[in-house]
Amino acid sequence: MEFKRKKPNFLRVEWHKKIKLGSTVKKKRKWRGAKGRHNKIRLGRKGRLSRPKIGWGENRKTKGRIENLVVVRVENLNDLSKVKKGEGIIIGSLGKKKRKEVIAKANEMKIKILNKYKEEPEEKK
């Protein structure tokens, strides 16, 4: 089995200096290319942030996998019956009742659910 290598977080230049670049809001920190004439990151100087490049892409064997499993989106029980061994599932947008059925069937088939966080705890009576 091949595992994904760890990639650096490609953060926007000087995100830590300005609020609008995401020093408080994480989703605003996303990468934007350095454009400045004397920008050290654009010039590739040592000791600076690394830039996203083609070489950071994933291997074909591991691309699109989560926890080293091929991901399949499941929206009903028929989709669940098509899942093969070595595949994990992500449960699509379902109601509470259908979700419980799909989770029960997946547990019975010993299939890993990758978005189990949507599962709500059972109500106490």
pLDDT tens column, 73-89: 999 999 999 998 889 99
Q: Give the rounded percent of residues in the chain with a pLDDT score beyond 70.
A: 90
Domain count, the chain: 2
Identify residue 45 by its one-letter amino acid code. R
Is residue 47 domain-resident?
Answer: yes
Is residue 3 domain-resident?
Answer: no
Domain carrying residue 39: 19-56
Is residue 91 domain-resident?
Answer: yes
Nearest C-alpha neighbor of 69 from the set 79, 57, 56, 84: 84
Mean of pLDDT values over 50-78: 88
Is residue 8 domain-resident?
Answer: no
pLDDT band at 119 (very low <50, low <70, confident <90, very high): low
Residues 82 and 108 in one domain: yes
Residues 46 and 25 in one domain: yes
pLDDT digits 0-9 by tens, 11-37: 888 888 999 988 888 888 889 998 999
Is residue 14 domain-resident?
Answer: no
Q: Is 24 exposed, middle or buried (0-12, 13-18, 19+ CB in 10 A)?
A: exposed
Is residue 4 domain-resident?
Answer: no
